[in-house]
Amino acid sequence: MFYTWWLMATISIFIMYIDVKKRTIPNNTIVLILTLCFIKMCFLGDLSILPYSFVILIIGFFLHVFNILAAGDTKLLFAFSLAISPEFLPLSLFIITALGGVLALVYYLYGLCTDLEKVKKRGVPYGVPICLGSLFGIAASF
């Protein structure tokens, strides 16, 4: 089943590239991640993650409503969360938050050196920390 992690990692590289370049996460890649994570969840028979995943989806929806998190980021985190064991979910979320904070700081400093308004308008490609933190959580869950 670990081969699915490599497939998810490959898709994640594509997601991170597109997110950095265009600030969007294609829905078809999210569907691929969702399918792989759902298969992993069902294969291992661990359905205890479902309530946590739906809480992530609900919180992400409200963060999207208030323009804090993009809809694609919310869907991606929900999809990945299906494959992370509940005991590793807090650590994965911490890694995502920490990497996101570092990324935001780097983009802020870059904006100070170039055009801060342009950088703020484009936003931070949060799909990058979501992919990295989630892949860590999934690997730890095996």
The candidate with the shortest Cα–Cα distance to 31, out of 59, 72, 2, 1, is: 72
pTM above 0.75, yes or no: yes
pLDDT(3) > 90: no
Task: Report the alpha-carbon distance of residue 56 to residue 34 in Å, rounded.
Answer: 14
Task: Report the alpha-carbon distance of residue 111 to residue 129 in Å, rounded.
Answer: 19
pLDDT at 2: 74
pLDDT(51) > 90: yes
Domain span at residue 118 reads 3-141
Task: Report the alpha-carbon distance of residue 1 to residue 83 in Å, rounded.
Answer: 12
Task: Report the alpha-carbon distance of residue 124 to residue 69 in Å, rounded.
Answer: 10
Q: Position 20: which residue type?
A: V
pLDDT at 99: 98
Task: Report the alpha-carbon distance of residue 16 to residue 131 in Å, rounded.
Answer: 7
Return the structure tokens found at 22: 């265009």
pLDDT(46) > 90: no
Q: What is the pLDDT of residues 93-129, one digit of tens each?
A: 999 999 999 999 999 999 999 999 999 999 999 999 9
How many structural domains does the chain have? Answer: 1
3-22 helix and 127-141 helix, angle to the nearest 10 degrees: 170
Which residue would you say has higher pLDDT here, 43 or 27? 27
The candidate with the shortest Cα–Cα distance to 26, out of 72, 64, 60, 68, is: 72
